[in-house]
Chain A
Amino acid sequence: MPVQRFRSIEDMNHAPVSPSRLPDFDRFLRHCARYWAIAPKVYPRGVFKFRTIEEAQKARAHR
């Protein structure tokens, strides 16, 4: 059903979403690709090491 009509945004939010025919991991990869297309980033190169996962997460947040 390509087009659905709703009387309110609440009805729209409660409507079931059609399941994708793609395998789960492919849906994930496509979602990441869309995200990258909208917000591409420039990463550094190489290897960085951290004493804790919190340290690693902080480095990511401040990049």
Chain B
Amino acid sequence: MDRDEIIRVLRAFEASGLEYVLIGAAAMGFHGLVRATEDLDLFVRATSENIERLRAALREAYEDDPHIDEISSADLLGEYPAVRYYPPTGDLYFDVLTRLGDAARFETVDAEIKDIEGTRVRVATPAALYRLKKGTVRAIDHQDAAALRERFNLKDED
């Protein structure tokens, strides 16, 4: 995961006006809980205008990669709320979500703004990350939830 690439993408997100919230290990990294990951996970607001902003931002960051056109509102607003995009750089990928079953969507994830080199990044709060992770079945999510609970003194009701 190349630092310049990540900053370029986050800058493109901001410039396009994309409504998103970073979740997953990258969000945990912003909160000081560091573990390795291969992807950037984000919720985006589920509107066609916002999906167009997502495509515009990715085109800006990845020099008009033609695969970006395969990211469609019809999918993300319909039957396929999870889309994975592998950019041409080859050492990371993006998991873009519009909803997580009935459990979560962009509007239900509390976020705060972080700054990296003058770029504003919308990151899920520790409590929001904890809520997303504590109820899932993956062992890594349980470990993340435990780390969040301990570091931020979160309670189960959080």
Interface size class of chain B, counting residues whose CB lies under 8 Å from the partner chain:
35 or more
Chain B, range 65-120, C-beta contacts under 8 Å to A: 67-68, 70-71, 75, 79-86, 88, 90-91, 93, 95, 97, 100-101, 114, 116
Give bound CA distance, A47 to B93, whole Å. Answer: 10
> Can you list 10 A-B pairs, Cβ within 8 angstroms, ordered by A?
A28-B25, A28-B26, A29-B3, A31-B29, A47-B70, A48-B83, A48-B84, A49-B84, A51-B81, A51-B82
Residues of B within 8 A of A12 (CB): none
Chain B, range 1-48, C-beta contacts under 8 Å to A: 1-3, 6, 25-26, 28-32, 34-38
Give bound CA distance, A34 to B1, whole Å. Answer: 9
CB of A53, distance to nearest CB on chain B (Å): 5
Residues of A within 8 A of B83 (CB): 47-50
Q: B residues touching A (Cβ–Cβ < 8 Å)? A: 1-3, 6, 25-26, 28-32, 34-38, 67-68, 70-71, 75, 79-86, 88, 90-91, 93, 95, 97, 100-101, 114, 116, 138
Given the contacts A24-B31, A50-B80, A29 and B6 also touching, CB distance less than 8 Å: yes
Give bound CA distance, A48 to B81, whole Å. Answer: 11
User: Can you list the 3 inter-chain pairs with the closest CB atoms, starting with the nearest?
Assistant: A28-B29, A35-B36, A49-B80
Contact B67 A45 (CB under 8 A): yes
Given the contacts A25-B116, A47-B84, A31 and B79 also touching, CB distance less than 8 Å: no
Contact A43 B35 (CB under 8 A): no
Residues of A within 8 A of B93 (CB): 43
Residues of B within 8 A of A29 (CB): 1, 3, 6, 29
Given the contacts A25-B29, A56-B82, A45 and B88 also touching, CB distance less than 8 Å: yes
* Complex partner residue of B3 from A26, A46, A51, A60, CB under 8 angstroms: A26
Chain A, range 14-38, C-beta contacts under 8 Å to B: 23-29, 31-36
Which among B37, B80, B114 has the highest number of chain A CB atoms within 10 Å?
Answer: B80
